[in-house]
Amino acid sequence: MQPAVEEWRTKPIDALLDAIVSLESREEAAAYLRDLCTLGELQALAQRWQVARLLDHGISYTEIATITGASTATITRIAAWLHHGMGGYKLVLGRVPPLVRP
């Protein structure tokens, strides 16, 4: 018997994940995400990623809020996922070049 898939892992979400992993370049990713998301959604995703990278570098919440414009509530939520989530942030942080501090 196979373990139950987590509630958030639905067939539509798995199809989205399949689409994302099929992308072969930054340009393909840009075209797909721009078609898929509103500009506001893309900016929110980019802000979350920037916050995660800054947190990973030990930057204070106050400084992160100043740099990114994110609320401290958002920063706290991202910090919780960074440290106690599924490991996705840490996985990708280990694969991208280090952040050059703003």
**1: pLDDT confidence band, cut at 50, 70 and 90?**
very low
The SS3 of residue 66 is helix
What is 39-102's CATH number, 1.10.1270.10, 3.30.750.24, 3.40.50.300, 3.65.10.10? Answer: 1.10.1270.10
pTM of the entire predicted model: 0.88
- In this prediction, residue 91 carries a pLDDT of 97
In the block, which residue shows the tokens 């947190």? Answer: 55
* Residue ranges covered by each domain of the chain: 7-36, 39-102
Q: Alpha carbon 31 to chain centroid distance?
A: 18
pLDDT in tens, 38-83: 999 999 999 999 999 999 999 999 999 999 999 999 999 999 999 9
Take residue 70 and report the two structure tokens written for it: 């994110």
